[in-house]
């Protein structure tokens, strides 16, 4: 997940108590950590994500070096695979400014359940870290005591959640009973196993019920798109990913798990020549993993006879002629033009 950028502005200075403005933004890149991976590096530069959804300006005050804010709305786009966004109401924040330039604090607020639920329902179930039916039940119980129940934004949602739980839950329970009947085991409703087939149906119900278009698309599209490899490619995506010509060079399962990061688009368009159109460091790391995986497959014993047009005189030594033939032919397809002499000499 990208870094979050916090800016505290005190017009009267931090030396005395007074009003402050706190802005929260999302960066385009991940937080930079030291070699241990535990400590965020100081004095790093980040680029602010221009997406206005993740820009927050909170009014507050500083007192004895502690910044607090007036309750307000707070929104931050997160990872659609885990939890789509943070959308707090009545946000509270406390940030203690330390003499060494660091700050430590906490931010909290009330959030509609839907975004939390979808993250768990999708990823949690796939990873086996939560039971969707039990989680829906837990949300229901929390919802019953929620102070937001009568707010217009959430009006009607408890009933929807109840329906969703009833439908999904009964389906899961039925599935569980069927399985246990077949196995000759005792029927136990609370322990009904969740199968992928029924889970998908439940998730589809959830998506339609909440009219959440993004999630409905993902669920309807199935898991084939996991990692975003084949579909949805756009003008700004690297040619490599959208190239059907190179179908046989797609990574195997291991490589696919490395994933591919989403490329940066601005206003839905590719900005020609702009610094925005680039591969992030983490993105390149992923490309590198995929590239190694694909290359290993190409030269692997299973594929080399079909994908490499020649055989070396000695497999334990360099072979100029065969390497030249393979790299110039493959390079021409990969770069979409013949390699120059220098390029061919250097690869």
Partner 1 sequence: MKVANDAAVGLKDFYSGLGISLSTMLVSPKFLFRQEIAETDPDHAGQYRMDAYSKASQLSFFLWDSAPDPELLAAAEKGDLNTDDGLKKQVDRMVASPPS
**Contacting positions for partner 1 (CB under 8 A):** 233, 235, 238-240, 242-246, 249, 277, 279, 284, 287-288, 290-292, 294-296, 298-300, 304, 308, 312, 314-320, 322-324, 326-327, 330-338, 343-347
Task: Report the residue number, 185 or 221, with the smaller CB distance to partner 1.
Answer: 221
Helix, coil or strand: residue 109: strand
Task: Report the residue number, 165 or 326, with the smaller CB distance to partner 1.
Answer: 326
C-alpha distance from residue 246 to each of 10, 194, 250 (Å): 55, 38, 7
CB atoms within 10 A of CB 126: 14
Least Å from the CB of residue 28 to partner 1: 18
- The secondary structure element, H or E, covering residue 98 is none
Residue whose C-alpha is closest to residue 29's, from 261, 218, 213, 287: 261
- Beta bridge partner(s), residue 266: 269
C-alpha distance from residue 30 to each of 43, 72, 85, 137 (Å): 14, 26, 17, 35
Least Å from the CB of residue 229 to partner 1: 14
Task: Report the residue number, 199 or 249, with the smaller CB distance to partner 1.
Answer: 249
- The secondary structure element, H or E, covering residue 203 is helix 196-210
Least Å from the CB of residue 243 to partner 1: 4
Look at phi and psi of residue 317 and say left if phi exceeds 0, alpha if psi is from -120 to 50, else beta: beta
Residue 321 CB burial class (10 angstroms; 0-12, 13-18, ≥19): exposed
Let me know: does 115 contact 84? Beta carbons within 8 Å.
yes
Task: Report the residue number, 116 or 344, with the smaller CB distance to partner 1.
Answer: 344
Least Å from the CB of residue 270 to partner 1: 10
Least Å from the CB of residue 322 to partner 1: 7
Task: Report the residue number, 14 or 335, with the smaller CB distance to partner 1.
Answer: 335
Structure tokens at 298: 């190409």
Task: Report the residue number, 60 or 251, with the smaller CB distance to partner 1.
Answer: 251
Task: Report the residue number, 197 or 332, with the smaller CB distance to partner 1.
Answer: 332
Let me know: does 114 contact 157? Beta carbons within 8 Å.
yes
CB atoms within 10 A of CB 32: 14
Least Å from the CB of residue 304 to partner 1: 6
d(CA 72, CA 55): 13
Query: Within a 13 Å sphere around the CA of 291, how many CA atoms are in the beta-carbon half?
Result: 8
Least Å from the CB of residue 283 to partner 1: 10
Task: Report the residue number, 49 or 263, with the smaller CB distance to partner 1.
Answer: 263
Least Å from the CB of residue 157 to partner 1: 40
């Amino acid at each position: 997940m990208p870094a979050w950028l916090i800016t505290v502005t005190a017009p009267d200075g931090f030396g005395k108590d007074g009003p402050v403005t706190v802005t929260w933004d999302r960066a385009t890149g991940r937080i930079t950590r030291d070699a241990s991976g535990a400590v965020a590096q100081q004095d790093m530069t980040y680029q602010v994500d221009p997406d206005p959804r993740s820009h927050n300006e909170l009014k507050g005050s500083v007192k004895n070096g502690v910044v607090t804010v007036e309750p307000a709305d707070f929104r931050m786009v997160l990872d659609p695979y885990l939890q789509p966004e943070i959308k707090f109401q009545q946000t509270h924040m406390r940030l203690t400014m330390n003499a060494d330039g660091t700050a430590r604090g906490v931010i909290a607020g009330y959030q509609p359940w839907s975004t939390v639920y979808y993250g768990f329902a999708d990823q949690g179930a796939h990873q086996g870290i939560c039971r969707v039916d039990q989680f829906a039940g837990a949300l229901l119980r929390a919802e019953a005591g929620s102070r937001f129940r009568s707010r217009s934004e959430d009006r009607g949602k408890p009933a929807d959640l109840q329906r969703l739980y009833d439908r999904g839950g009964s389906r899961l329970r039925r599935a569980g009973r069927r399985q246990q009947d077949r196995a000759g085991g005792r029927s136990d409703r609370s322990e009904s196993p969740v199968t992928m087939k029924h889970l998908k149906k439940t998730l589809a119900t959830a998506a339609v019920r909440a009219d959440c278009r993004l999630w409905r698309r993902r669920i309807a599209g199935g898991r084939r798109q996991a990692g975003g490899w084949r579909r949805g490619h756009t003008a700004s995506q690297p040619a490599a990913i959208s190239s059907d010509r190179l179908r046989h060079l797609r990574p195997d399962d291991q490589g696919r798990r490395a994933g591919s990061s989403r490329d940066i688009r601005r206003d839905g368009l590719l900005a020609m020549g702009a610094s925005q159109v680039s591969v992030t460091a983490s993105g390149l790391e992923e490309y590198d993993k995929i590239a190694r995986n694909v290359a290993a497959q190409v030269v692997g014993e299973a594929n080399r006879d079909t994908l490499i047009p020649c055989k070396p005189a000695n497999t334990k030594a360099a072979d100029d002629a065969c390497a030249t033939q393979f790299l110039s032919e493959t390079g021409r397809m990969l770069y979409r033009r013949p390699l120059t002499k220098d390029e061919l000499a250097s690869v």
